[in-house]
């Protein structure tokens, strides 16, 4: 089996070397870039399996790199950020990042997130149905594509997995722990807040398409409202 290739784009050499050490120990092939333009060029040239992308980069910031990559690639992107506000995290997700890790972080946490995002991408194609329909919502699991009323909605693999998890059981309430297990495949102390951030980003994209499928069940979690799908 071919080794998975990870591209790290970060101008902090200490972070790069530490992450590289852990990833190579786990048999990943690692490439690195220290600024935005080099990272973008390298990502397009070597076609990595995962990109680990710092938010604050010289030359071209991480958000712009992410936006440019999303023009022609669905490669999973994990954003590294020292910013901790929900608005900052949502900005990265809106640009197309699949996940984010807040600095300072444990290399083992980063490794777990890389493993998980690769599992999500691989798992989506194993015995996946051609499509899932719910009212005006249509999901194409093998292509990671979604439509609302025949209009494409651009989702990251993480957002797609969250939506698919709930869409296959409309009306069922999923706790944050349920979603971590089924859609993320990993979690850490305090990680439930990550679910909320991803749900907020997913809602924004669906509502921009004119639909409010995802409902909050206060104190319990989230669900897909099939009636909302029918009314969209």
Tell me the CATH number at 63: 3.40.50.2300
Q: How many helices (H) and strands (E) does the chain have?
A: 9, 11
Contact 12, 54 (CB under 8 A): yes
User: Domain check: are 77 and 140 in the same one?
Assistant: no
Question: What are φ and ψ of residue 106, in 5° steps?
Answer: -85, 135
Contact 140, 146 (CB under 8 A): yes
User: Splitting the chain (232 residues) into consecutive groups of 10 residues, what average pLDDT does each group show?
Assistant: 90 95 96 97 96 95 92 88 72 79 88 85 64 88 85 85 89 89 62 79 83 88 77 42
User: Domain check: are 14 and 93 in the same one?
Assistant: yes
Q: Which of 124, 140, 159 is the last residue of a domain?
A: 124
| Rounded Cα distance, 81 and 83, in Å | 5
User: Domain check: are 107 and 179 in the same one?
Assistant: no
Residues in the chain: 232
User: Domain check: are 193 and 95 in the same one?
Assistant: no
User: Domain check: are 171 and 114 in the same one?
Assistant: no
User: Domain check: are 70 and 155 in the same one?
Assistant: no
CA distances from 118 to 11, 19, 166, 169, 172 (A): 24, 17, 20, 24, 27
Strands 145-148 and 137-140: antiparallel
Q: Which of 95, 124, 153 is the last residue of a domain?
A: 124
User: Domain check: are 11 and 112 in the same one?
Assistant: yes
Element (H, E) at 222: strand 221-224
User: Domain check: are 149 and 195 in the same one?
Assistant: yes
User: Domain check: are 176 and 69 in the same one?
Assistant: no
| Rounded Cα distance, 164 and 221, in Å | 16
Q: Which of 80, 101, 124 is the last residue of a domain?
A: 124
User: Domain check: are 102 and 144 in the same one?
Assistant: no
User: Domain check: are 60 and 15 in the same one?
Assistant: yes
pTM for this structure?
A: 0.71
Give the CATH number, domain containing residue 207. 1.10.10.10
3-state secondary structure of 204: helix
User: Domain check: are 219 and 173 in the same one?
Assistant: yes
Q: Please choose, from the candidates 141, 142, 4, 11, the residue with its C-alpha nearest in 3D space to the C-alpha of residue 65.
A: 11
Using the structure block, give the residue that is written with the tokens 């897909």: 224
CA distances from 116 to 98, 183, 185, 190 (A): 11, 9, 6, 17
Can you name the residues that pair with 54 across neighbouring β-strands? 80
Specify the number of domains making up the chain.
2
For residue 232, the model assigns a pLDDT of 41
For residue 20, the model assigns a pLDDT of 96
Give Dmax (Cα) for the chain: 52
* Domain span holding position 158: 132-231
CB atoms within 10 A of CB 169: 12
């Amino acid at each position: 089996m071919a080794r998975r290739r990870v591209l790290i784009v970060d101008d902090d050499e200490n972070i790069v070397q530490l992450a590289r050490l852990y990833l190579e120990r786990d048999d990943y092939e690692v490439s690195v870039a220290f600024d935005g333009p080099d990272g973008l060029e390298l990502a397009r040239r070597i076609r990595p399996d995962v990109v680990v992308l710092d938010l604050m980069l010289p030359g071209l910031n991480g958000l712009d790199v992410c936006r440019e990559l999303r023009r022609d690639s669905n490669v999973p992107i994990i954003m590294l950020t020292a910013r901790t506000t929900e608005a900052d995290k949502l900005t990265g997700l809106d640009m197309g990042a699949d996940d984010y890790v807040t600095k300072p972080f444990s290399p083992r946490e980063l490794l777990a997130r890389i493993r998980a995002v690769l599992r999500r991408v691989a798992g989506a194609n194993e015995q996946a149905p051609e499509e899932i329909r719910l009212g005006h919502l249509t999901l194409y699991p093998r292509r990671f594509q979604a439509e609302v009323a025949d209009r494409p909605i651009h989702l990251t693999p993480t957002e797609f997995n969250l939506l698919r998890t709930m869409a296959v059981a409309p009306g069922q309430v999923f706790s944050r722990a349920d979603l971590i297990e089924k859609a993320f495949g990993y979690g850490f102390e305090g990680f439930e807040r990550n679910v909320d951030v991803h749900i907020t980003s997913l809602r924004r994209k669906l509502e921009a398409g004119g639909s409010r499928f995802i409902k909050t069940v206060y104190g319990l979690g989230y669900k897909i409202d099939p009636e909302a799908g029918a009314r969209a």
